[in-house]
Amino acid sequence: MNLAELNKVAEAMVAPGKGILAADESSGTIKKRFDAINVESTEENRRDYRELMFRATEAMSNHISGVILYDETLRQNAKDGTPLARVIEQAGAIPGIKVDAGAKPLPFSPGETVTEGLDGLRERLAEYYKLGARFAKWRAVIDIAPGIPSWNCINANAQALARYAALCQEAQIVPIVEPEVLMDGDHTIERCAEVTEWTLKEVFQQLFYARVALEGIVLKPNMIISGKKCPQQASVAQVAEETIKVLKRSVPSAVPGIAYLSGGQSDVDATAHLDAMNKLGGFPWKMTFSYGRALQAAPQKAWAGKQENVAAAQQAFAHRARMNGLASKGEWNKGLEG
């Protein structure tokens, strides 16, 4: 393992004004997104849609540091025959790859899951490196409901994240460590804070046991927010304050940066929360975004599967990328949304 090189990639992933595009939707998820805009989910349509974002020069070169890809996409070529990973590199961003096999039911623990995909991961990482990937992503899912999460669920997912991260660093690939406490449910912001702190502390304990070098990772956590069904929704200021408080208690300063997931928040909410945290300051890490829906919902709607809409879709993508790039520096305001 060359830690200096891993750190260089990790630092580039959280460079000021830039963040990560999560374009790693599984075939099932992208089909749901395409169904919503009446587009058939064929391999060609998936390629065309993702390529239009990767070729949005203004957005990619100025505001996107890296792109998380699905296995299919990493192996695809653009219309002109250029590998899509190369298109991303030419735009000045780093190709990455989703490597987990999804969350599966945790035995004897109703409502809880553990993420699978460790079998054969060492060999897959070696292949992904050859295909151009320089970072990877593994998502653990923690749900909040009556009686859960359990220690067993948090511990099982933390151990899997640590084993994945160690294998990535062995393969000279930066691991994005993503423990997501879901915003589904009616829990309060205080309950989200409690569960997230517990989860993060367990994850970093397991990373230590697995000898993962923190200087060569990027953390992708949820923000501390109220559950979607909670009657008392926290303000933007509360979200920023609670999130920074929990992360200060849980995340070592050796971690180069934190790239938040949007987790089902609206486009503008995800931007506003990130901006508020960066305006507050007072933390040792760079704080940026690793958004999927919050970057893609607008361009998907604008594109609608039509070639004549590509420019409009690229413009919509560029706008959201710019807004979040500003938020990553604490320079966004709602008036810029137009």
Catalytic machinery residues: 178, 220
Do residues 317 and 295 make contact, with C-beta atoms less than 8 angstroms apart?
A: yes
How many other β-carbons are positioned within 10 Å of the β-carbon of residue 323?
27
- Which of 212, 221, 213 minimizes the C-alpha distance to 250? 221
DSSP assigned state of 228: T
Pairing status of strand 135-142 against strand 94-98: parallel
Do residues 85 and 98 make contact, with C-beta atoms less than 8 angstroms apart?
A: no
Which 3-state string (H, E, C) describes 15-82?
Answer: CCCCEEEEECCCHHHHHHHHHHCCCCCCHHHHHHHHHHHHCCHHHHHHHEEEEEECHHHHCCECCCCC
Q: H-helix or E-strand containing 327?
A: helix 310-327
Cα(43)–Cα(40) distance, rounded to whole angstroms?
9
Cα(218)–Cα(286) distance, rounded to whole angstroms?
10
- Is the sign of the CA dihedral 280, 286, 292, 295 positive or negative? positive
